[in-house]
Amino acid sequence: MRLTRLLIATAAVAVLAADPPKPAEPVRLNAVKYDDLGDAVRKLKGKVVVLDFWADYCLPCKREFPKLVALHRKYAADGLSAVSVSLDEKTGHDGAKAFLEARGAAFANYRLDEVPAVWQAKLKVQGPPLVYVFNRRGELEQKFADDIDYAAVEKLAAELLKQ
């Protein structure tokens, strides 16, 4: 009986002495203009960048978003930067942030603070989903639109990380 208590006490001390778990990185969502988004992506030169445009009203975007999070977790240490861009309007900012927090999107998250006509003209799309993959030189390698195949996105990103 004493030995059991001693073992339990020793285990408890070991657990308490261990490093406390690190809190999860806070999820941030910054509102940016289109040109500022371009500057932020250019600053990631040297990394492979997966830029995912999404919106709360886009069900395929929300369904596929966990794959971006998984891609980040799997390849960030190898030089991949995941970046999400919400195309929701200002009134949807809090909802977009809550969505990101619920999915553990602890990487660069932006909300494009432009009217749809601006981003539609610049991105040459009517709406999301839309994923861009940039190589380490900051050059666009491939644009994925409409029905995004994240297996193809991951395959391309993994190839680029080897270069």
Write the pLDDT tens digit of every residue in 55-72: 999 999 999 999 999 999
Residue 15 lies in a domain: no
Tokens of 41: 């992506």
* Domain total in the chain: 1
Residue 3 lies in a domain: no
Residue 1 lies in a domain: no
Of the candidate ranges 19-23, 80-84, 94-98, the one whose mean pLDDT is the lowest = 19-23
Q: In terms of pTM, does the model score above 0.85?
A: no
CATH code, domain with 35:
3.40.30.10
Residue 8 lies in a domain: no
* DSSP single-letter state for residue 10: H
Q: Give the range of the structural domain holding residue 50, as residue numbers without chain letter.
A: 24-161
Tally of CB atoms within 10 A around 142: 14
The HSE-up count of residue 25 (CA atoms within 13 Å, CB side) is: 12
* DSSP single-letter state for residue 22: P
Q: What pLDDT shows up at residue 25?
A: 73
Question: Dihedrals φ, ψ of 50, to 5°?
Answer: -110, 110
* DSSP single-letter state for residue 103: T
Of the pLDDT bands very low, low, confident and very high (cuts 50, 70, 90), residue 150 is: very high
Cα–Cα distance between 98 and 73 in angstroms, integer? 20
Higher pLDDT, residue 3 or 72: 72
Mean pLDDT value of segment 124-129: 91
